[in-house]
Amino acid sequence: MDTTAPWKQLLLNALQSNSHLRQSSYFQLATIGPNGMPANRTVVFRGFQDSTNKIQINTDCRNHKFEDLNHWPFAEICWHFTDSWEQFRINGAVDVIDGSNPDLVKLQQREKAWFDSSPKSRLQYLGPNPGLPSLGDQPAQVPSSLDPSAGPVAAFCLLVLEPDQVDYLNLKSNERISFSRKIVNEEVSWNSEKVNP
């Protein structure tokens, strides 16, 4: 059973108070590659999965983060809200859900994430492979239309991060709280501790 984490309301408040800033829905996602080196990139927050604390991210399974997470399925998010001066560092295990996933429920979650995305966002998954050399001097061409009723294309992947630890820092109030998830007898609880900023 997933209980609402105490940090989640802090994050929802930060999202609300910074909602007038487009960048408030972007955060950095750090992974570890097969070579042992860290990799960091900016991704879009796609909401919480249903009524859980799990954070959803859409990605292209042809890029490096897919390979990184299949090698080492853990990541850390760093989310900074410029107006409220708040930072969230959230780490945990990442469930990688591509079209080959054998779990029917997870495939339904992937399909829901696909249809929750804008048509323009969906078109990105029809373009050339990310990270490969471009052919010619012109920008890579992405198709201009897609059947809006068609399900997820093969390149579309849903990442679901289940937070284990959250470090919250408020630079305006000079407050820092460390949250950690505990599981005892399948019951989830969260510990919180105020720490020095």
**Containing H/E element for 139?**
none
Q: In this predicted structure, what is the pLDDT of residue 144?
A: 64
Asked whether residue 1 carries a pLDDT value surpassing 60, the answer given is no
* 40-71 tens-digit pLDDT: 999 999 999 998 999 999 999 999 999 999 99
Q: What are phi and psi of 17, to 5 degrees?
A: -70, -15
User: What pLDDT score does 133 carry?
Assistant: 75
The pLDDT, as a whole number, for residue 162 is 97
What whole-number distance in Å separates Cα of residue 85 and Cα of residue 165? 20
**Neighbour-count burial for 22-56, b at 16+ CB within 10 Å, e otherwise:** eebeebebbbbeeeeeeeeeebebbebbeebbbbb
Residue 31 pLDDT: 98
Q: Is residue 1 part of a domain?
A: no
Position 139 in a domain:
no
Identify whether the C-beta of residue 56 lies closer than 8 Å to the C-beta of residue 27.
no
Token readout for 43 is 């991704």
Distance CA(28)–CA(57), nearest Å, equals 11
Reported pTM:
0.91
Structure token digits, residue 75:
């990541």
Structural domain range at position 85: 6-128+146-195
- Residue 167 is part of a domain; what is its CATH number? 2.30.110.10
In a domain, 19, yes or no: yes
134 in any annotated domain: no
Query: Cα–Cα distance between 1 and 96 in angstroms, integer?
Result: 21
pLDDT at 124 over 80: yes
Tell me: the pLDDT tens digits for 147-189? 888 899 999 999 999 999 999 999 999 999 999 999 998 898 9
Task: For residue 109, tell me if it sits in a domain.
Answer: yes
Query: Could you tell me if residue 138 is inside a domain?
Result: no
Q: Please check whether residue 104 lies inside any domain of the structure.
A: yes
d(CA 10, CA 8): 5
How many domains does the chain fold into?
1
In a domain, 171, yes or no: yes
